[in-house]
Amino acid sequence: MRAAAEDLKRYGATVVPAFSSEEDFSRWKERVWQAMDEFPEYKVHGRNAQRVLGGFGAYANPASFHHPTIQRLRTELKRRVSRPLFLRYVRRPDANVEVLFDRLCVRHATFGTVTAEAWHRDIYDHAKYGVRPLAQRDELFGGWVNLSDEVQRFRGILGSHTEPEAMRAQERGGGFALLTKAEIAQQCVDARLAAQAGGTFGGMRCTADGDVQVPPGHMLVFYQRLLHAVAPSKPPTTPQLRLFFGHRVTLEQTPLFPLDLILLDNRVPRIPSGQIPPMYSQNHYAFFSRTPKYREWGQKTFKTQCLYERTTPSGMPYATPGSRNNLEPSCNLSRSMPSLTRMGFPAYAYTEATRATMTPETLDLYGPDTDVLEAED
């Protein structure tokens, strides 16, 4: 884990094994697939079921955040990966690491193509989403754990997290920091990506396109301010599964976002950007208007208590996941879902351990008398 921490410091990203063995990985992978068939909001089952619209495939139903299997997996990954990694990265035992809620994701050729995203940096935007600013010296990290049998890819410029442009973007704030064509040329982004092609960078290996490989059963962790993009790619012919995973390293002991009602009622939480994630995009309203299969998707996919009835501009009825009878208008405006309890389902309980996972916990795994630099992997 010490080598992975050095990669994170030097390159702004690292890829590490997330499970103790192939058998352990297979068990967790199957548990997550099984958990999806147990989500109470849905009528559909199976790995080919399209539970959310859009090729990106990121779920935003409340059970996908709170199901006991997802709770336990986050807790296991924090114990096995997050705390050992960031202990060696930060090298101060008074620091804490908090796991941030993020989305489960399934991609498949029948769901559509992942829309390419241009080169950008993810910058936390407290003003846009009405949440509190980061504390001084806080650091946010993105990433995911690959729960598929195929290698997944991450397109990023290794080492770009320490550049002046990255630090200025973080100081400015404002969320999604998109590079202009002129900035892409000025910063030689395409040439730098090409220089990564086929290379090995610490424990990371890159494809012929310069993308970082994330093998099955491995976790990617990267600085949010690292320059990265979503590359256009051929949709997988078999469903690919991942769990996005956010981290906050902080000296605080208070969670970044309030947790009590999120956990108690199983509400849709804020993800690391600060936003409450939607179930479909704004662009899908055009599809609802002109394509029958999109208008039918809600009724075929969700139980009645999870649907909000709408009409197209031409008067055709359809339903989308949301707040039934518009009891929570904010959900229907933001294209998000209410809590499990508001929809009439029992909430999944959190244990002391799974709740603590979502709070800042000390990195000092070895006790106050142990020198961090001398701790054995």
In the prediction, which pLDDT does 372 show?
29
The pLDDT of residue 94 is 85
Query: Rg of the chain's alpha carbons, rounded to an integer?
Result: 21
Q: Is the pLDDT of residue 162 over 60?
A: yes
Q: What is the mean pLDDT of residues 176-182?
A: 87
Which domains can be identified in the chain, with CATH numbers?
2-279+346-365 (2.60.120.620), 284-334 (no CATH)
Q: What is the mean pLDDT of residues 71-93?
A: 93
Average of pLDDT values for 215-227?
97
pLDDT tens digit sequence for 131-154: 999 988 899 999 999 999 999 999
Asked if the model's pLDDT at residue 373 lies above 50, the reply is no
Q: Write down the pLDDT at residue 376.
A: 34
H helices of 229-291, in order, are: 260-265, 284-290
Q: How far apart are the first and last CA of the chain?
A: 6
Q: How does strand 104-107 pair with strand 240-244?
A: antiparallel
Separation of alpha carbons 112 and 332, rounded Å: 24
In the prediction, which pLDDT does 128 show?
A: 87
Question: Which band of pLDDT confidence, cut at 50, 70 and 90, is reported for residue 170?
Answer: confident
Mean pLDDT of the 285-313 span: 96
Give the pLDDT band of residue 365 (cuts 50, 70, 90): low
Residue 43 scores a pLDDT above 90: yes
Mean pLDDT of 198-212: 97
Q: Specify the pLDDT at position 375.
A: 35
Say whether 242 sits in a helix, a strand or coil: strand
Compute the average pLDDT of residues 252-268. 96
Sign, CA dihedral 9-12-18-21, equals: negative
Contact 72, 243 (CB under 8 A): no
Give the count of beta carbons closer than 10 Å to the beta carbon of residue 314: 7
pLDDT at position 34 is: 98
